[in-house]
């Protein structure tokens, strides 16, 4: 399999789906002029024409609303928002329309759209451009939320999202675009709502998603050098949420730590911890721990920003505290 970047994997997914299905179209801010904020759509307008790839005005509510209308009209739009932060300006269209149309129409109308948005911090873009707002959107029934961590999953999940008949918010972490990995060529689909065990282990389960999956994997490798074998579960999708894969891992390792970049309160880690507590309490040898971003608006200063985002050292420290407490 070729070794390509996360950015290239997403580009391949878009290109393949546009070739496969003429109903797929792409629009957003600067998707033509600059190939998108991070270059994912570069060259697509030239190859597929201005009717299928076009720039939109700087109005996120309009972009999301047009995507909803196009989807209801029989097309399969992929709308790009420069960042997840700007999705706040489109929240009514996403939450009150895209997510609810099927319900409001009694199942007679679907909204097969994908909204691509960049999330996460670490690039010194300051508080209002570096947020991890996926827990807010994952709270909404009727809306699917996908957060791929690797190039292969990026391609496979984006292709599946475009083919899905429900609205999908597809969140790409800003620091993942240059990450390289093996990606299958041609038809490569990853099902929505299915987590993946990215590393086998027997001592503790690390549950993560998006860039924090890579942080968890790095921590697991370092822990292995000290005799602790951590299993890493990548959620991949936040709604639907694959509880069974998480529970199966916890029943094997008997310990769990969640790792997320979003704020701790009401976060994805809290939801995972609750489900483990409800379904696998008797399998636990230690309380569930959570690692998250510090609950502050993300600072601009590089040193402060790095201090606010979880890293492998914080994960290792938390794991060691779990074992110290339980005598493992």
pLDDT digits (tens, 9 = 90+) for 165-186: 999 999 999 999 999 999 998 8
Please give the radius of gyration of the chain, using alpha carbons only, rounded to the nearest integer.
Answer: 20
Distance CA 60, CA 78 (A): 13
Q: Percent of the chain scored above 70 by pLDDT?
A: 99
Sign for the CA dihedral angle at 242, 247, 248, 252 comes to positive
- Single out the catalytic residue among 11, 97, 129, 188: 129
Among 189, 186, 185, smallest CA distance to 161 is for 189
Does residue 226 have an active-site annotation?
Answer: no
- Single out the catalytic residue among 60, 80, 260, 305: 60
For residue 155, CA distances in Å to 45, 142, 188 come to 19, 23, 7
Distance CA 115, CA 158 (A): 10
The pLDDT tens digits of the residues spanning 32-73 come to 988 998 999 999 999 999 999 999 999 999 999 999 999 999
Residue 317: pLDDT over 90 = yes
Name the burial class of residue 126, with classes exposed (0-12), middle (13-18) and buried (19+) by CB atoms within 10 angstroms of its CB.
Answer: middle
The pLDDT tens digits of the residues spanning 109-121 come to 999 999 999 999 9
Domain with CATH 3.40.50.970 in the chain: 3-182
Look at the pTM and tell me if it is higher than 0.95: yes
**Structure token pair of residue 180:** 């390289």
Residue 328: pLDDT over 70 = no
For residue 57, CA distances in Å to 30, 83, 225, 321 come to 9, 15, 52, 51
Find tokens 């609810």 and name the residue: 100
**Structure token pair of residue 118:** 């960049």
Domain with CATH 3.40.50.920 in the chain: 196-326
The pLDDT tens digits of the residues spanning 262-279 come to 999 999 999 999 999 999
Q: How confident is the model at residue 1 (pLDDT cuts 50, 70, 90)?
A: confident
Name the phi and psi angles at 199, rounded to 5: -155, 130
Among 251, 321, 258, smallest CA distance to 285 is for 251
The pLDDT tens digits of the residues spanning 232-265 come to 999 999 999 999 999 999 999 999 999 999 999 9
Q: Regarding the domain with residue range 3-182, which homologous superfamily does it belong to in the CATH classification?
A: Thiamin diphosphate (ThDP)-binding fold, Pyr/PP domains (3.40.50.970)
Does residue 60 have an active-site annotation?
Answer: yes
Q: Tell me, what's the pLDDT at 305?
A: 97
Instruction: Tell which CATH architecture fits domain 196-326.
Output: 3-Layer(aba) Sandwich (3.40)
């Amino acid at each position: 399999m070729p070794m390509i970047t996360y950015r290239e994997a997403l580009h391949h997914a878009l290109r393949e789906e546009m070739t496969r299905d003429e109903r797929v179209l792409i629009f957003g801010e600067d998707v033509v002029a600059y190939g998108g904020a991070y270059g994912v759509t570069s060259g697509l307008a030239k190859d597929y024409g201005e009717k299928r790839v076009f720039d939109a005005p700087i109005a996120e509510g309009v972009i999301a609303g047009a995507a909803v209308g196009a989807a209801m009209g029989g097309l399969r739009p992929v709308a790009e928002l420069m960042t997840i932060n700007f999705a706040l300006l489109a929240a009514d269209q996403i939450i009150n329309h895209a997510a609810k149309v099927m319900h409001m129409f009694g199942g007679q109308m679907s909204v097969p759209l994908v909204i691509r948005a960049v999330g996460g911090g670490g690039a010194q873009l300051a508080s209002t451009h570096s947020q991890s707002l996926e827990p807010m959107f994952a709270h909404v029934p009727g809306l699917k939320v996908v957060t791929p961590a690797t190039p292969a999953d990026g391609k496979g999940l984006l292709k599946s999202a475009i083919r899905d008949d429900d609205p999908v918010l597809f969140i790409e972490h800003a620091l993942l675009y240059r990450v390289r990995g093996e990606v299958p060529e041609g038809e490569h689909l990853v099902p929505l709502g299915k987590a993946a065990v990215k590393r086998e282990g027997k001592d503790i389960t690390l549950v993560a998603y998006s860039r924090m999956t890579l942080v968890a994997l790095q921590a697991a490798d370092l822990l292995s050098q000290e005799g602790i074998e951590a299993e890493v579960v990548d959620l991949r999708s936040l709604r639907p949420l694959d509880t069974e894969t998480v529970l199966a891992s916890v029943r094997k390792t008997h310990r769990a730590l969640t790792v997320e970049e979003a704020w701790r309160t009401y976060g994805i880690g809290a939801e995972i911890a609750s489900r483990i507590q409800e379904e696998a309490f008797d399998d636990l040898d230690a309380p569930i721990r959570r690692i998250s971003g510090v609950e502050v608006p993300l600072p601009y200063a590089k040193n402060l920003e790095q201090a606010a985002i979880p890293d492998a050292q914080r994960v290792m420290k938390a794991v060691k505290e779990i074992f110290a407490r339980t005598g493992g």
